[in-house]
Amino acid sequence: MKALVYHGPGKKAWEERPKPGLQQATDAIVKVARTTICGTDLHILKGDVPEVTDGRILGHEGLGVVEEVGSGVSSFKKGDRVLISCITSCGKCPACKKAMYSHCQNGGGWILGHLIDGTQAEYVRIPYADTSLYAVPKGVDEDALVMLSDILPTGFEVGVLNGKVKPGDTVAIVGGGPVGLAALLTAQFFSPAELIMVDLDDNRLEVAKKLGATKVVNSGDGKAAEKVLALTGGEGVDVAIEAVGIPATFDICQDIVTAGGHVANVGVHGKPVSLKLEKLWIQNVTITTGLVDTNTTPMLLKNVVASRLEPKKLITHTFALDDVLKAYDTFANAAKEKALKVILRASA
């Protein structure tokens, strides 16, 4: 089969690899029908994730058709169309029993395209298939569903739920990439009064307005915090969602959160940030962190089926799976290409 293989920092190739086989009774082999590229894949290619070694097939998002299941798989059979979760879960360990699947103690968590071969390939092996795959409902848009592998649950769980967004809240989302926009879409479940999007890129701010942002702030002049405070009459925001992962954007969140508010960190940080505890100690502020657990995926699926949530709006480009290298070029030049999510389609 063909697969997108990581060969060390800066190096990747679309090349021939052996088709995966079952290794455990709880495995399934899935023929990939749709996959996508995540910002995390770009981090891996920069060498920021040293756990990913030379020869690893990348990708942790996708949807496909079950090709083969092990004897221990009871919920799926050959021919079933399935959504692949970015988080693998055994469903049995203490962490999984707490619905903290990202910390699965039996070798699950984020492993696809990280510690084991991933979804940017013609076939992928999915461990713990019963608890890591979701049946694709009939008649639903499959491109849209791929957004539920990772970015929708990430924006919702780590941003909106950890941030405790409530009706009437003023919410700022710092970072209008796909995950920030996923937080913007899912924050609307709770009817906040104001949804302020902060980003450097005017195109992304325009998209954010179309997806429900009530106000937008371009942070290019380094004055985003002042601007957000001005927009809120000096009050600041109830919830600041950090969706970039650099010190400057975390600082904006610390500077704009109001007393009793929440800073929900979603961004993947590569460098330390300084915590302004000398200002925050008196503010009754809660700061949360997290990796997505995907325990909300069944709920999000229902809302997509009911058209209450339209993640398809995050897809800007479509490529054939064979053109994955072109898709990487487009996604890596997101600002120039006006790219959010790219979909890769295979023939399945």
The residue among 84 and 195 lying less far from Zn ion, judged by its C-beta, is 84
The residue among 84 and 104 lying less far from Zn ion, judged by its C-beta, is 104
The residue among 153 and 192 lying less far from Zn ion, judged by its C-beta, is 153
Q: Are strands 194-199 and 170-174 parallel, antiparallel or unpaired?
A: parallel
The residue among 120 and 254 lying less far from Zn ion, judged by its C-beta, is 120
Binding site for Zn ion (CB under 5 A): 38, 40, 90, 93, 96, 104, 106, 108, 150
Q: Are strands 237-242 and 12-16 parallel, antiparallel or unpaired?
A: unpaired
The residue among 147 and 273 lying less far from Zn ion, judged by its C-beta, is 147
Question: Least CB distance from residue 41 to Zn ion, whole Å?
Answer: 7
The residue among 90 and 211 lying less far from Zn ion, judged by its C-beta, is 90
Question: Least CB distance from residue 68 to Zn ion, whole Å?
Answer: 23
* Tokens matching residue 73: 């798989």
* Long-range contacts, 210-215 (Cβ 8 Å, 24+): 210/313, 211/181, 211/184, 211/185, 211/313, 212/184, 212/185, 212/188, 213/173, 213/184
Question: Least CB distance from residue 316 to Zn ion, whole Å?
Answer: 16
Question: Least CB distance from residue 262 to Zn ion, whole Å?
Answer: 23
Answer yes or no: are the C-beta atoms of 208 and 197 closer than 8 Å: yes
d(CA 61, CA 141): 16
Question: Least CB distance from residue 44 to Zn ion, whole Å?
Answer: 10
270 alpha carbon, distance to own chain's centre: 17
Q: How far is CA 13 from CA 52, 73, 154, in A?
A: 15, 33, 28
Question: Least CB distance from residue 152 to Zn ion, whole Å?
Answer: 11
Which residue is at the shortest CB distance from Zn ion?
A: 38
**DSSP structure string for 163-214:** TT--TT-EEEEE--SHHHHHHHHHHGGG--SEEEEEES-HHHHHHHHHTT-S
- What amino acid occupies position 165? V
Question: Least CB distance from residue 176 to Zn ion, whole Å?
Answer: 16
The residue among 61 and 67 lying less far from Zn ion, judged by its C-beta, is 61
Answer yes or no: are the C-beta atoms of 15 and 2 closer than 8 Å: yes
User: Whole-angstrom distance between the N-terminal and C-terminal Cα of the chain?
Assistant: 14
